Amino acid sequence: EAGVAQSPRYKIIEKRQSVAFWCNPISGHATLYWYQQILGQGPKLLIQFQNNGVVDDSQLPKDRFSAERLKGVDSTLKIQPAKLEDSAVYLCASSSSRRRGDTEAFFGQGTRLTVV
Amino acid sequence: DAKTTQPNSMESNEEEPVHLPCNHSTISGTDYIHWYRQLPSQGPEYVIHGLTSNVNNRMASLAIAEDRKSSTLILHRATLRDAAVYYCILRDVAGSGNTGKLIFGQGTTLQVKP
């Protein structure tokens, strides 16, 4: 089966600019996650969707970050305006069900963002 | 969120077994123990998971202590391609309000020497 697709793979922007990342999860997966991974650290969960509804966005900096998952399939994560500390890899993952502890999550390759 | 503790780094020789420990003393009865690994410049990938019994798959084995307060990921014969960061995660999806999220810690960086 096709994996989780993310684009772009790399992005360089200047601070105060805006940027958007796109994720296409595995077909049929209801749960979608966005993570931020700063160099040398483990991934940090930003937001979790169940279908097109937000389940958890407690770690999302809502003054500058936004995310949507229209129609419960693809998702977009946006940063506006970007800060230097937003430089990180942004990972998207999907899972078939959030209610089953024995299901695995599948991750995309990530988008490496550099803010200069 | 239930917390896990892992050593920051470990070394192994190629073709030898590797035992990666994880402590999770505050584990609840409904937490599943998941292991993921992250190769350089890749997204994390699933390795194995278990609830109470030991588990085996083509990648690894998972040994779970009887009291479930610790677990060990076992790579039977390490190869150079196993060099990665290994994350031990507790995933609880029971009860209302639980979201099934995967919370990553710092993980264990495994170095494999030829």
Which residues of B fall within a CB distance of 8 Å from A50?
99
CA distances B96 to A99, A101, B81, Å, are 10, 14, 40
Q: A47 to chain B nearest CA, in Å?
A: 9
A33 and B102 within 8 Å at the Cβ level: the answer is: yes
Question: Token pair of A55, please?
Answer: 């389940």
pLDDT of B91 reads 84
Question: Is the distance from CB of A10 to CB of A47 less than 8 angstroms?
Answer: no
For the stretch B17-34, pLDDT in tens is 999 999 999 898 888 999
Residue B1 has pLDDT above 90, yes or no: no
Tell me the three state secondary structure of residue A87. coil
Q: Does B43 lie at the interface with A, CB-CB under 8 angstroms?
A: yes
For the stretch B38-61, pLDDT in tens is 999 999 999 999 999 999 999 999
Which residues of B fall within a CB distance of 8 Å from A101?
30-32, 49, 51, 91-94, 100
Q: Distance between CA atoms of A27 and B46, rounded to whole angstroms?
A: 18
The mean of the pLDDT values for chain A is: 93
Which residues of B fall within a CB distance of 8 Å from A3?
none
Smallest CA–CA distance from B44 into chain A, residue: A107
What is the DSSP secondary structure assignment for residue B5, as one 8-state letter?
B
A109 and B44 within 8 Å at the Cβ level: the answer is: no
B93 and A33 within 8 Å at the Cβ level: the answer is: no
Pick from A42, A43, A99: CB nearest B100: A99
Residue B96 has pLDDT above 70, yes or no: no
Q: Does B99 lie at the interface with A, CB-CB under 8 angstroms?
A: yes
Residue B95 has pLDDT above 80, yes or no: no
For the stretch A62-108, pLDDT in tens is 999 999 998 889 999 999 999 999 999 999 999 987 666 778 899 99
Q: Distance between CA atoms of B26 and B92, rounded to whole angstroms?
A: 12
A45 and B49 within 8 Å at the Cβ level: the answer is: no
Segment B77-96 shows an average pLDDT of: 86
Q: Distance between CA atoms of B17 and B78, rounded to whole angstroms?
A: 6
